[in-house]
Every structure is written in structure tokens, then in C-alpha cells.
A and B are shown apart, each in its own frame.
Chain A
Amino acid sequence: MLVRGDAYTNEAPEGPPMTTAVRILDDGAWISVDDERVVSVSELWQLADHDVCGCETADFLIEGFVDVDAAGPAVLVRAAGQCVTCGESAVSGWLPVGRIVGPDRRFASLATGHVRTPRA
């Protein structure tokens, strides 16, 4: 089945069709990839070269996912959250959460401590 976009906000996804079902569940608590819940809110992500706040590296608490998309093998999200260093709240740009890998199309999550840079 071909499912793209987002169960919650219904933003039209961009890019060529993918056969990966990605969606947001439970009021933004989860990113689900192929019906498996893979990333949840409450993680602290380090963001470089970002525009959520003025910090060089933002220490961004993920409070809710607002958008998800599969762009090639990469799964990207936009998240609402807060930099816990400076207190700025923002919705992030498209951040990588992991990739679809291997012949069995497994989802491999980025490590929590990975420094992420938003995609243009």
C-alpha cells in the first residue's frame, strides 16, 4: 500500500512516490514507519546550522512531531520543541531521524546523540 504524508496534518508530501508508510500518531507522540513506532517525543536532539534559536548548537527537546516525510531512503521530520539551553520554542526545519536500509527495508534510527542539521 502506498501511504505518504502525515496522519495528523495532512500536508502534501514532496518528492517522488515512496513505498514507505510514514506517519505521525497519537497527537504527535510518535513517528511510525511501516506501522512500527520508531521515534517518540521527549528526546533531546543537538542541532547544528539550524534556525530554532540563537545557540550555536541547540539542545532541542522534542515535544511533538508536526510533519514527516520519506525522501529517498531518509526519513525526515519537523518537530515542535524547545531549546533547553536558551528556552526558545520553535518548530524545527526538516531533521533526519533515520534511514530505510537493506533488502528487507529496515528502519535504522540515528543515535540520540547525533548532531543533526536541517535539510533545505
Chain B
Amino acid sequence: MPTDVERWKDEVYGNEIRDHLMEFAEEGWDSIPEDEEDAWFERFKWWGLYHQRAGQESYFMMRIGTPNGVIEPGQLRVVGEIAKEYATGPVENPEFGEAYCDWTTRQSIQLHWIKLEDVPEIFEKLEDNGLSTQQACGDSWRNIVGCPVAGKDKQELVDAWPIARDLHDTFKGDEDHTNLPRKWKVSVTGCTEGCGQGDINDLALEPARKEIDGETVTGFNVRVGGGLSRKEPRLARDIDVFVRPDNADEVAGGLSALFREHGDRENRYNARIKFLVDEWGVEKIRRVLQEDFVDFDLHTAGEDLRDEYTYNTGSQDGHNDHVGVHEQADGNYYVGLNVLVGRMGAEDTLELADLAAEYGSGEVRLTQRQNIIVTDVPEENLDALLDEPLLEDYSPDPSPFMRGSIACTGTEFCSLSIVETKNRQVRYARWLKDNVELPADHEEFHIHLSGCTASCAQPQIADVSLRGMKTRKDGDPVEAFDIGLGGGLGEDPRFADWIEMRVAADEVPGAIANLIADFETEREAGETFREFVEARDEDELGELLDPEETDYEDPYMHNTKKTWYPYADDDNMDDSPAPTDGQGEPLPADD
């Protein structure tokens, strides 16, 4: 028997959702029949709209998918204008103000507090400028990720940007691939540093070379079935296939069709392709792909470059997180700016759009570390760009604790969340910057904070992983974190080990400070933090991670999920203005 979600998808899904969405928007929030809300909210995700959590009814999160994080000249201004005009909620956020954009861990853009009634105008403005929310959420091809400086970088085997672009153009809106059993996350990388994060995607194309008919061809090796969600993280597995850039869409489409036909539609918890790879093994995935889903003979895997990977290996080599000033292959420069927890105010976004146009080509790119890169800056413009006051807040040379912080959405908007995330991570980063000194050879130190086990902030691949929890402190329930250590990517990716559980949120900075102090004194010469963790067992690490209260203050210890908005002065559910009409005025309660 199909699940309700599958039943709803059978009735209406994919492109056709749009007509209904537009009709509801025209007639207003109230026009969605109450007994169809569950079905419509599930479907709206396909068009990038995710209904916000309890207490925020009638407001939506809107995700805009920007393949490979590329925001073309002119588009950043459009995003900033939309955020300013439409992404303002009833109460402002104390750290980020009234309206803001989130740059996400999958190189997309998220806006909040969007009213259904505004969707037609927003879509028109986005689409007039080559942007779209199509398939940004829901059960289909999600935003394609990759090395954010593809085509610009000096260290690349293949320029993967045209391929990512082509996959995006091919599979967004393709009716054969719009209704998959679950989300389908793809990474395409051509650079030699490993920054596409292919290992944690459903499908990864990674750079490789292969001798074919006596000629060395460059292209990609294929891995399938990575992902971090729930407590079931998996690395993508090598299915022994090499693909030429020309054939990338046939192989990627073949795999997505295989998933469409064989993924589990009876149980959404078991639906991601990582579970099919568990069940079948890679040989069977390859065999079924060859027999039923592609028309030519697949090549066996080529020689990969994984032993050259530097990105998120803990080694501090290579361009790593892309923050800072780096020369491009064409002699221009790109300037990677740190955006703390990926959130940028709408006004700042508009100003950055101006700077990118003034000093570069107008293009910017989003990274999988929630940062933003201004590309194509001629050498003679560098000093002037670096002197701009905006770069004091979005620094190309930030403290390791600022540049290494990633946080997900959390209780501010997300229904799965257990704890407050972004505002807290801002406070953690500031406190750590002011109070903790890392060894001088550690410019990068990754702390990823996720509000629940869905792992949107990718905690398992960080030096310090924080995952939302609760505990009791002096008898009262308080927000807390499980703390993991030693995760990262590279040739031998490694998920963090969970070391200290249910640490009250106000004792986390103290725990990190104690750990780093011990690291500094106990490390071997030149030992990286990741190596230091790998060399120790759980008990030893537990002793180094010694949670304690410090002068760090946490305003979000109480159950922020129980509020209608964690930062409102009157934060009780009953004080919520939602649901509201198109003007943001509270609607009368239902009969």
C-alpha cells in the first residue's frame, strides 16, 4: 500500500503543482481547504516552499536552487531585493535584523517569512532573472553542488561547471525524474582538492582519468548512496564506473531512473538510495544500471585523484574553505568572504551585489561552508575591494572560529528542531574568538551545529560536531548538545565519534575551550586536530572534553521550540499573530 505522501504525489506532483499554487496565492492562505493542508504543504515543497513550524502558520521558507552555487551577474541584487521586500516577519531577529538571506550548506539560498500571496510576484521576479525555486525541496533532483570555483580554479582536472549546469537544465522539470521516492542530491566536481563533498551525496561525480583506446580521457568516477541524515550516515560508494563528461547526463539520469523504479516508496525512512545500496551492494547497482538504464557499455572506474584531496582534511593545505584571496586560472582573483552561520542581512546583500559589480564581474558564488565568494576581481581592484567597510563584517581573513562555524535553521523556523541554532552559534563563535587561542598552524577549525539528527549543518564531517539535544539542569529541561569529534573529508573521510552526550548548551564553549587547551599542550609537533583525535580513544577524548560554565551567557536555554518565535518579547504560542493574511494581519481563528 502506498504511503499518504505517495498517494498525494500520484494525484498532483511536479510542474503541475504550480497552477494550484498560483490559484491559492491569488485567493489567499485561507483558500487552502483545511482537510487538504497536509497534502498541499507536501506538494509545495517541490516548488521550493516549506511551511514553517507551529506558531508560524501561513508563513513559508522559500529555497532558491543555484546550481554549483553560481549567482550570475545581477542575480544577487535580485535576491537582496526580494529578501528586503518579502522576507520580513512579524518580529525581527536580534542578531540579523528584519530581513535576511541564508546561504546554505548545499549552495542554495533560503528566505523566510514568505507569504503565499506574494509567491506569484516573487516567482516572476526570480524567473525574469534566470533564478528558480523549482525542485529546491521535495522528492526529486535537488540543487546540484560542486567546487564553488569550478572553471576559475587553478587546480582542476575538468571544468565541471558546464556539466553541473547541463544536469540542472536537463533534470529540472523533466517529467521522468520529477517524482522520485525521496530527495536526490547530486555533486559534480572537477577540482583536485575534493571540495565538492561528493561523499555525502546520493550521487557523486568525482574527477578521474581513464585510458580509453590508447588515449587518456578526463572525466568522472561515479559514487552512489552517501548522506548524513538520521543516525544513519553513509559515505557514497564506488560503483566502478567512469563516465566521460559527454555521457554524464545519461549515467546520472540512468541512476536517478534506477532510484525511481527501485527505491522504497512504502517507507520514507528507508527510501534514500543509500539504503538501496546497503541492500543491493555496489555490484548489483552497477549491473542493473548497465542492463536496464543505460544504452552503452559502461567503462570501469578510472584513476581518481582522491589522494590529492586537501579540502576538509584537517591538513590546512590547499584553498580549503575558499575564504581569502586566491588567484584564478585567468589571472584574476577570487575573494572568499566569511558569512558567519551563512546569514546575511538584505541590506548587506544589496551592498555586496554592488561591490561585486564594481570590482569584479558581478558574479558571486556560494560555498558548501555557507560562505560567499566574489569572483573575477582584477589584481588592480583587490586593494580597494579589501578596504570596503562591508568586509569588516564579512571578512576574507576571519578568526578560525568565525570561518569554521556552520549552523542549520533550528527552532527559529524548523519543525524538526530540538534547539536554537544560528543565533547561539554566533554567540559561541564570538566567545571562542575572544577567549580561546588555537595553535598558530590551525587557520581552520570546523564547528558544525545541527538542531537535530537530520544533520543539515553536516555535523558529522566537522572537527567538533554539535547535535541538538535536551537535558535537565537543576531539575529544569534545558537545551543541550551531543558533542562529536574528529570528522572530516578527504581521501579517507571519517564521521565524527560522539564523545560527550547531553551537554547543557551553556557549557559547550567551556568544553571546547578545555579541549583546545589540552590539544595545544599534548599534541605532537605538527599534529593536526583531526590526527590528534584519531590517535585517542573515546575515554581519553571524554576526559579532554570537560564541559563547564564560563562567562559565556546563553539566552536560549529554555525550550525555544515551545515559543512561537524564540526572540519575540512575548514569545508564548498564544501571542503569535499567525496565521496572517497577505498583509501580515492576523486572521480570525477558525470556527
Number of A residues whose C-beta is below 8 Å from B?
A: 36
Q: How far, in angstroms, from A12 to B2 measured CA to CA in the complex?
A: 11
A-B pair number, CB within 8 angstroms: 96
Residue A61 at the chain B interface, CB threshold 8 Å = yes
Query: From residue 26 to 48 of chain A, which have CB atoms closer than 8 A to chain B?
Result: 26-30, 32, 34-37, 40-44
Contact with A along B26-39 (1 / 0, CB 8 A): 00000000111110
List 16 other contacts, CB 8 Å, given A10-B3, A12-B1: A3-B4, A7-B4, A8-B3, A8-B5, A9-B267, A9-B268, A9-B269, A10-B2, A28-B416, A35-B36, A40-B415, A42-B470, A42-B561, A64-B416, A82-B469, A84-B469
Of A26, A30, A41, most buried by chain B (CB within 10 Å of CB) is A26
Q: Cβ of B477 and Cβ of A35 under 8 Å apart?
A: no
Q: Cβ of B35 and Cβ of A26 under 8 Å apart?
A: no
Q: Cβ of A84 and Cβ of B470 under 8 Å apart?
A: yes
Q: Cβ of B418 and Cβ of A63 under 8 Å apart?
A: yes
Tell whether A29 pairs with B3 under 8 Å between CB atoms, given A8-B269, A40-B53: no
Residue A120 at the chain B interface, CB threshold 8 Å = no
Q: How far, in angstroms, from A61 to B417 measured CA to CA in the complex?
A: 12
Tell whether A7 pairs with B470 under 8 Å between CB atoms, given A32-B38, A35-B37, A84-B502: no
Residue B501 at the chain A interface, CB threshold 8 Å = yes
Shortest Cβ-Cβ A-B pairs, 9 listed? A7-B4, A29-B415, A29-B416, A42-B561, A42-B418, A8-B268, A10-B3, A35-B35, A35-B37
Cβ contacts A to B, 14 pairs, < 8 Å: A9-B266, A23-B4, A25-B38, A27-B269, A36-B37, A40-B53, A40-B561, A41-B415, A42-B419, A42-B561, A44-B477, A61-B418, A84-B470, A87-B502
Give chain A nearest CB distance to B232 CB in angstroms.
12
Residue B251 at the chain A interface, CB threshold 8 Å = no
Partner of B38, one of A23, A42, A64: A23
Contact with A along B536-571 (1 / 0, CB 8 A): 000000000000000000000001010000000000
Give chain A nearest CB distance to B358 CB in angstroms.
42
CB neighbours (8 Å) of B268 from chain A are 7-9, 27
CB neighbours (8 Å) of B471 from chain A are 84
Residue A111 at the chain B interface, CB threshold 8 Å = no
Partner of B470, one of A25, A30, A35, A44: A44
Give chain A nearest CB distance to B307 CB in angstroms.
37
CB neighbours (8 Å) of B5 from chain A are 7-8
Query: From residue 1 to 59 of chain B, which have CB atoms closer than 8 A to chain A?
Result: 1-5, 34-38, 41-42, 53-54
CB neighbours (8 Å) of A21 from chain B are 35
Give chain A nearest CB distance to B196 CB in angstroms.
25
Q: How far, in angstroms, from A7 to B7 measured CA to CA in the complex?
A: 9
Residue A69 at the chain B interface, CB threshold 8 Å = no
Q: Cβ of B38 and Cβ of A35 under 8 Å apart?
A: yes
Contact with A along B468-496 (1 / 0, CB 8 A): 01111000010010000000000000000
Q: Cβ of B469 and Cβ of A61 under 8 Å apart?
A: yes
Q: How far, in angstroms, from A40 to B411 measured CA to CA in the complex?
A: 12
Partner of A87, one of B41, B454, B501: B501
Q: How far, in angstroms, from A26 to B183 measured CA to CA in the complex?
A: 13
User: Which residue of chain B lies nearest to A34 when distances are taken between CB atoms in the complex?
Assistant: B35
Q: How far, in angstroms, from A30 to B472 measured CA to CA in the complex?
A: 24
Give chain B nearest CB distance to A19 CB in angstroms.
12
Q: How far, in angstroms, from A42 to B563 measured CA to CA in the complex?
A: 12
Q: Cβ of B416 and Cβ of A27 under 8 Å apart?
A: yes
Q: How far, in angstroms, from A73 to B41 measured CA to CA in the complex?
A: 26
Residue B452 at the chain A interface, CB threshold 8 Å = yes
CB neighbours (8 Å) of B1 from chain A are 10, 12
CB neighbours (8 Å) of B425 from chain A are none
CB neighbours (8 Å) of A63 from chain B are 418, 452-453
User: Which residue of chain A lies nearest to B8 when distances are taken between CB atoms in the complex?
Assistant: A7
Partner of B416, one of A41, A44, A59, A85: A41
User: Which residue of chain A lies nearest to B57 when distances are taken between CB atoms in the complex?
Assistant: A37
Q: Cβ of B35 and Cβ of A10 under 8 Å apart?
A: no
Q: How far, in angstroms, from A58 to B469 measured CA to CA in the complex?
A: 15
Partner of A41, one of B37, B418, B502: B418
Q: Cβ of B415 and Cβ of A30 under 8 Å apart?
A: yes
Give chain B nearest CB distance to A116 CB in angstroms.
16
Give chain B nearest CB distance to A30 CB in angstroms.
6
Q: How far, in angstroms, from A28 to B269 measured CA to CA in the complex?
A: 9
CB neighbours (8 Å) of B4 from chain A are 3, 5-7, 23
Give chain B nearest CB distance to A34 CB in angstroms.
7
User: Which residue of chain B lies nearest to A25 when distances are taken between CB atoms in the complex?
Assistant: B38
Q: How far, in angstroms, from A3 to B502 measured CA to CA in the complex?
A: 38
Q: How far, in angstroms, from A19 to B4 measured CA to CA in the complex?
A: 16
CB neighbours (8 Å) of B469 from chain A are 61, 82, 84
CB neighbours (8 Å) of A40 from chain B are 53-54, 415, 561
Give chain B nearest CB distance to A39 CB in angstroms.
9
Contact with A along B210-240 (1 / 0, CB 8 A): 0000000000000000000010000000000
User: Which residue of chain A lies nearest to B34 when distances are taken between CB atoms in the complex?
Assistant: A35
Contact with B along A59-70 (1 / 0, CB 8 A): 101011010000
User: Which residue of chain A lies nearest to B266 when distances are taken between CB atoms in the complex?
Assistant: A10
CB neighbours (8 Å) of B561 from chain A are 40, 42-43
Q: How far, in angstroms, from A44 to B471 measured CA to CA in the complex?
A: 9
CB neighbours (8 Å) of A3 from chain B are 4
CB neighbours (8 Å) of B419 from chain A are 42
Query: From residue 53 to 110 of chain A, which have CB atoms closer than 8 A to chain B?
Result: 59, 61, 63-64, 66, 82, 84-85, 87
Q: Cβ of B3 and Cβ of A37 under 8 Å apart?
A: no
CB neighbours (8 Å) of B411 from chain A are 42
CB neighbours (8 Å) of A66 from chain B are 269
CB neighbours (8 Å) of B559 from chain A are 42
Partner of B472, one of A41, A43, A59, A87: A59
Q: How far, in angstroms, from A63 to B470 measured CA to CA in the complex?
A: 10
CB neighbours (8 Å) of A27 from chain B are 268-269, 416, 454
Partner of A7, one of B3, B416, B454, B472: B3
